[in-house]
Structure 1
Amino acid sequence: MGGDEGVRVIVAGAALALERHAGLRFLLVGNEAEIERALQGRPALAAAAEVQHTDIVVAGTDKPSQALRTGRGSSMALAVDAVKAGKAGAAVSAGNTGALMAMAKLSLRTMPGIDRPALAALLPSLGDNDIVMLDLGANTECDARNLVQFAIMGAAYSHIMMGLPLPRVSLLNIGTEELKGRDEIREAFALLRNGTNLPFRFEGFVEGDKVLFGDTDVVVSDGFAGNIALKTVEGTARMVSEVLRRAFTSSLRSKAGFLLSKPALHILKVHLDPNNHNGAVFLGLNGIVVKSHGSADDKGVANAIHVAARLLEDDVTRQIAQSLGRISGAAVPKDAANQ
């Protein structure tokens, strides 16, 4: 029931995802009458879907604390609870991010060895594969232990989604020198540099202007810096697209140039289209929860469902648990950051 267009685009996205993953089954939680109307003309999806009715919806303006108090029977809460109960393997929502995070953490709890879940997403890069970036807003303040755990989770996510056997992991910082940055970032640097049996290659610090150049596969930061970086990247992509649009419509000569450049511009559009990278996941929970952009179209929703399906098929929770068990030297006592 979330997202800018609600039921229509979610159901349309589910239909597209079913074409890509024929074995999927859906539990569609929300207003039954609206869902049934959206399912009309989609017999394949209707046959693969079960509808669970509720007319309680978490609003986009609801604070997480408010959503926890008043939204227990909401479509969002019931979807997350279905994962906890084993009725669903993963939950996908385009609704209120803060509320989804709060409900998911309360219902599913964090994995053993993980203090806080992190919001991770795939971003386009100039390299051979997309990069994983986390945390993107779930935790505005983090200590060194949190950042080390984010590195482990991000590497597992990259391994599954990008097929990389040994992802390159970097810490987002204001410089690449070891003395740069806040205490917790420098401490995380030392822990990762000295860790053994790491399921990734630690590359040190990376600055914001190098994030998308393909020199790293996983970028780790606290949620405050990560969210700002993400929004800056998204805004820059929209600005570039708008500048090109204006340039190619400014004169007859420019319009002629547009026709000649159309194939290359199509590649650019596909590469920068946020719908092709839609689907941020809350890593570190005892279950899979994926957040879709509220503005995503049906292709974007389908991509978010694809992310959930891949993480479920490759059992990301097990992979993170195994990685945590293999780490020696990267784990830090809970109170070490305060010593």
Structure 2
Amino acid sequence: MHIVVDAMGGDHAPDVVVQGAVQAARRFGYAITLVGDEARVRPLLAQYDAAGLPITLVHASQVVEMHEHTMAVKVKPDASLNVGMRFLRDGKADAFVSAGNSGAVLAAALFQLGRIPGISRPALAIVYPGAPHPCVLLDIGAITDPKPEMLVHNALMGVAYAECVLGIPRPRVGIVSNGEEPDKGSALVRDAYRLLAASPLHFIGNVEGKDIGRGVADVVVTDGFTGNVILKLSEGLVAFLARHLRREFTGGALNKLALALMLPGALLMLPGALLLLPTLRRLKRKVDYAEYGGALLLGVDGVVIIAHGRSNARAIASAIRLAAQAVEGSMLQAIKTGLERLYHTGSVTKAHLRSLRGDLRQP
């Protein structure tokens, strides 16, 4: 397994990227090629004791910065993400990972790799935490105004992700709407609902926002605008709860300690507070983006992971592991096979959508 990593991508690059790559190489044994400014990256390899690990370094003289316009990839051919993407395109690597400018990574992937035949637009997919198990949520920002058939493509790609990476057999597919009834939602959602219901996918219907994390569906599809709002709202809520719990727990424990000093019998209250610690740690792991690695860019003809811009070393290592899992699970081939099946049934053609609309107008 050979993963190429953009060493210059992310808010804390190249330091945490190199550190995460070293962790992944040491823990999983993957061969890793780091692409970036050699003068900055090589000392970090020494600092993090990469000697003897299967890590190589390829110099790139340019960087697409986080604040730059997406089209910077066109005027910076030797940017680290362009060089790395060419490695993947030319078969020198199995997957590409970057925590850099997500729009630029998307553009570079389209320019260098192209789309999978039959896919009109790419989508970004993440593992969304939930109970009793997480789900695949897409699109979280690649395309904000898709057509109905694109949501069917997204559903198919999400199914391939769930099957090949998460090991979920026959994943249940739902579409985000403002109610469970089939006639709820925007025109886009209603049209996509009809196409999904007629497809060979295991479509279960509409999913309300409150149910995304409850495990009612294994794959949840939506447009990139709504998906990004869901993601950012969830991140903000998790951050708020973490701060609130930390403040309440710390204050509560101190109050109990003060009470115990005055009333010896109150010492019995302390074990209960301490028992909460493992539970809080498990909860943190479930909702921590660093556990899941990043978003899979689906629809391009190659395995591409876009990690969070503020990724730490553990998140980079998780992104590399996710890339390897997608390759090992033959996810790209699963998407291509699924597309053939969809088009064979004719369930995503514009003519079929028009016929469905016509059927609904009949008395």
Give TM-score, length-normalised by structure 1: 0.93
Max Rg structure: 2
RMSD: 2.0
Q: Identify which of 178, 202, 222 aligns with 1:174.
A: 178
Asked whether the equivalents of residues 170 and 204 of structure 1 are also in contact (C-alpha less than 8 Å), the reply is yes
**Residue 26 of structure 2 corresponds to which residue in structure 1?**
19
SS at match of 1:52: strand
What is the alpha-carbon distance in structure 2 between the residues aligned to residue 241 and residue 9 of structure 1?
A: 23
What is the alpha-carbon distance in structure 2 between the residues aligned to residue 45 and residue 309 of structure 1?
A: 22
Give TM-score, length-normalised by structure 2: 0.87
SS at match of 1:289: strand
- How many residues end up aligned between the 2 structures? 333
SS at match of 2:304: strand
1:94-109 equivalence runs, <5 A? 94-109=99-114
Change (3 A) 1:45 1:230: farther
Q: CA deviation at 1:254?
A: 5.7
What is the alpha-carbon distance in structure 2 between the residues aligned to residue 155 and residue 140 of structure 1?
A: 20
Question: Mean alpha-carbon deviation: is it higher for 91-100 or for 259-268?
Answer: 259-268
* Identity among equivalent pairs (%): 37
1:23-34 equivalence runs, <5 A? 24-34=30-40
Q: CA deviation at 1:243?
A: 1.0
What is the alpha-carbon distance in structure 2 between the residues aligned to residue 253 and residue 42 of structure 1?
A: 42
What is the alpha-carbon distance in structure 1 between the residues aligned to residue 51 and residue 117 of structure 2?
A: 36
Question: Mean alpha-carbon deviation: is it higher for 274-283 or for 221-230?
Answer: 274-283
1:158-307 equivalence runs, <5 A? 158-196=162-200, 198=201, 201-251=202-252, 252-253=254-255, 256=270, 258-307=273-322
Q: CA deviation at 1:77?
A: 0.9
What is the alpha-carbon distance in structure 1 between the residues aligned to residue 302 and residue 135 of structure 2?
A: 23
What is the alpha-carbon distance in structure 1 between the residues aligned to residue 17 and residue 86 of structure 2?
A: 19
Asked whether the equivalents of residues 14 and 45 of structure 1 are also in contact (C-alpha less than 8 Å), the reply is no
**Residue 157 of structure 1 corresponds to which residue in structure 2?**
161
Say whether 1:331 aligns with 2:348: yes
Asked whether the equivalents of residues 173 and 180 of structure 1 are also in contact (C-alpha less than 8 Å), the reply is yes
SS at match of 1:219: strand
Deviation string, structure 1 residues 92-149 (Cα, Å, up to 9, x no partner): 001000111111111111101100110001111012x321000010001011110000
Amino acid at match of 1:4: D
Change (3 A) 1:108 1:231: same
Q: CA deviation at 1:234?
A: 1.1
Deviation string, structure 1 residues 62-114 (Cα, Å, up to 9, x no partner): 1112x133222100111111111111111100100011111111111110110
Structure 2 unmatched ranges of 5 or more: 1-7, 258-269, 358-363
Asked whether the equivalents of residues 125 and 158 of structure 2 are also in contact (C-alpha less than 8 Å), the reply is yes
Say whether 1:70 aligns with 2:53: no
Amino acid at match of 1:253: N
SS at match of 2:118: coil
